[in-house]
Amino acid sequence: MGMQQETTCHSLIAGKSTPGVAGRVRSVDPSTDREEGPEFSFLSEGQLCAAVQAADEAFAEYRALDPARRAAFLEDAAQKVDAQGEEIISTAMRETGLPRQRLQGELARTVNQLRLFAGVAREGDHFGVRIDPALPERGPLPRPDLRQRKVPLGPAAVFGASNFPLAFSVAGGDTASALAAGCPVVFKAHNAHPATSQLVGLALSAAVAEADLPGGVFSLVYGRGNEIGQQLVKDARIKAVGFTGSRGGGTALMATAAARPQPIPVFAEMSSINPVVVLASAIASRTMRAVLAEGFIGSVNGSGGQLCTSPGLMFVPAGSDGDAFIETVADQVSMAEGATMLTPSISTARVRGESRVSSLPGVHEVGHGVEGASANAPAPSVYSAAATTFLQTPALAEEVFGAHSLLIRYADLEELEALVDHLEGQLTATLHLDPEDSGDLEMARSILPALELKVGRVLANGWPTGVDVGEAIVHGGPFPATADGRSTSVGTLAIDRFMRPVAYQNLPEGLQPEVVRDANPWGVPRRVDGEYDLGG
């Protein structure tokens, strides 16, 4: 089941290859700056409407699936994507410049996410069933019979991310969680990796067909980014949006969604510089400084700095230990080599971003690595500034996407608290400290309440690049890290983004949804009269 062998490939609308009539695109190998692979046709406005219509028509049947069938569909989708792994990886390497090992890990994560959400769908806990049986004799007023469950929002528009061609793309977390919730998906392929998207889209479409589901459960569409994105979000039949990308792109979709006659939620992951707070004891010895600096540069330069959790900001104590640490960072970054960035335009933006930062008053160069041997592989870089400079220069808090970071020197707890208070919303914050040192613990205890109001994940003595997919993870944060800091795009809680609660009062049993009936035919966990019932 490889990609169709023809000179032009097309959108998959409800499982059918649909030639677009509004232009074409070819992917560019960023390591050579050369166009590679087949062309992909862009849909017109009317053709995109057909994909949304198919999703809308599929919604009633798809949302009514019992947990076992929905889980089996997602498991089959995972198997089909996995079976195409080698072709997917080799294609993604050509389209993104990312190394094989990184893409192998990302493919495994993608497949495991689908299987994880198959488990969520089968268990049924996401329905959030609560039952308060009637108490007709209760005084002074009787209690009615109340039953609550969560229902899917409806067809979802999901946008592919440039920096994750698999895990945040066609079969990535947004798609997996929306499908697990019961929402058909219209997926907008990222034009930087159209062939990779096509391969995964074919696998999902095959799973839809094999499960004997309506074709509109999944569509893969190609088009000009801004135009097709705005049209999708404006369409009244789309009920939710999943997006990973720039702040400008995300806020534009948020504005469109809010301006609709019936506004809809946009779950956008956008901008984060992921501050790292270094406390005194973490750099008290030469060995500790060396280990910390090596880990820092490894995290900054991993995947060319193109991870949404790359540490673009580090707070370092003033004083001799801090000076020695920065010298060690300079040594480490000097040995780092630039990696091919995802697209020529992303590479250009990275270089311009560094130029903008380096030109600001009070900013000093710490060190540079070397450019990579391929095209679009700028040298990693680190700069520094005083806390007062950072607090007085808003531009220093803006993300530079790529292998670039800024070290900020702080004198004491009061200055560190001011720095934390100055931060925008972030995906992560990291503390490096000695857990046995009372001074480190007291300082961390002082800033932790403020940090947890700024970020979605706080970690200690590690690096934020590396997001474990599971039950307890949060990959989100206050704006502008995400559009809605109450949600996560990774982990099982992500399914809640695409559902809403409905209560049924005194509804006759014959009208009650199966999941809230006393017999619990689906065997899902529920809260009944305040007590947790594990069901089947």
What CATH code is carried by the domain that includes residue 352? 3.40.309.10
| Residue 359 pLDDT class (50, 70, 90 cuts) | very high
Contact indicator for 382, 403 with CB cutoff of 8 Å: no
242 forms beta bridges with 158, 267
Same domain, 454 and 355: yes
Same domain, 77 and 212: yes
Same domain, 105 and 43: yes
Same domain, 447 and 309: yes
**Mean pLDDT taken over the chain:** 96
Mean pLDDT across the stretch 183-189? 98
Alpha-carbon distance of 224 to 19, in angstroms, equals: 15
Same domain, 138 and 228: yes
Alpha-carbon distance of 455 to 453, in angstroms, equals: 6
Same domain, 241 and 363: no
Same domain, 174 and 109: yes
Residue 269 is among the residues annotated as catalytic for this protein = yes
Mean pLDDT across the stretch 442-460? 97
Same domain, 257 and 323: no
Q: Given a cut of 50, is residue 146 above it in pLDDT? A: yes
Mean pLDDT across the stretch 68-97? 97
| Among 308, 354, 399, 415, the one annotated catalytic | 308
Mean pLDDT across the stretch 19-42? 93
Mean pLDDT across the stretch 212-219? 98
Residue 49 is among the residues annotated as catalytic for this protein = no
Domain of residue 345, residue span: 275-460
Question: Above pLDDT 70, what percent of the chain?
Answer: 99
Would you call 459 helix, strand, or coil by DSSP? Answer: strand
Number of domains, the chain: 2
- Model confidence pLDDT, tens digit, residues 116-126: 999 999 999 99
Alpha carbon of residue 395 to chain centroid: 24
In a domain, 528, yes or no: no
**DSSP summary character for residue 486:** T
| Among 269, 354, 399, 424, the one annotated catalytic | 269
Q: Given a cut of 90, is residue 205 above it in pLDDT? A: yes
Instruction: Reply yes or no: is the peptide bond before residue 344 cis, omega within 30 of 0.
Output: no
pLDDT computed for residue 4 by the predictor: 44
Q: Cα 23–166–158 angle (5° rounding)?
A: 60
